[in-house]
């Protein structure tokens, strides 16, 4: 799994992922090329992401430059993905795609639509 360190979800979910035995790649800053490089190098299989990055997964030179075939599941926060981008990601990478729902509109209280065992995608 890969997280940008400046995002609130990295502080909320990082202890959960680590305690479940996940290997987490924590980026010091959000650098899209470094993110794509890390997915390829470390065979990232669970990718928390957002709509702008989702578009880059299907369009642009970075998606074609790096091997992203290790991705098995993509999860998102409250920001909705465009339906066409969502479909293109699922088709291109054959991944599970889950959007989270936020309770009370607080980033720190996300509840995911899907429940999974820590061994399923980590």
pLDDT of residue 101: 59
Q: How confident is the model at residue 51 (pLDDT cuts 50, 70, 90)?
A: confident
pLDDT of residue 31: 85
At 73, list the tokens. Answer: 């599941």
The DSSP string of 15-33 is: HHHHHTT---EEESS--HH
At 12, list the tokens. Answer: 């909320």
Mean pLDDT of the chain: 76
pTM, entire model = 0.73
Cα 55 from Cα 46, distance rounded (Å): 17
- Decide the pairing of beta strands 96-102 and 110-112: antiparallel
Of residues 117 and 54, more confidence is placed in: 54
Tens of pLDDT, residue by residue over 77-111, are 767 788 898 899 999 999 998 876 554 344 433 33
The total of other beta-carbon atoms located within 10 Å of residue 30's CB is 14
CA 54 → CA 8, 10, 45, distances in Å? 19, 18, 15
Domains of the chain are 2-121 (3.40.50.980)
């Amino acid at each position: 799994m890969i997280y940008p360190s400046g995002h609130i979800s990295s502080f909320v979910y990082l202890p959960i992922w680590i305690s479940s035995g996940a290997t987490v790649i924590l980026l010091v800053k959000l650098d899209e090329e470094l993110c794509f490089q890390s997915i390829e190098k470390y065979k990232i299989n669970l990718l928390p992401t957002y709509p702008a990055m989702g578009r880059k997964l299907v369009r642009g030179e970075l998606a074609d430059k790096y091997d992203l075939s290790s991705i098995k599941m993509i999860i998102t926060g409250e920001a909705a993905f465009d339906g066409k981008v969502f479909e293109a990601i699922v088709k291109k990478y054959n991944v599970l795609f889950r959007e989270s729902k936020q309770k009370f509109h607080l980033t720190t209280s996300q509840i995911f639509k899907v429940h999974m065992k820590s061994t399923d995608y980590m």
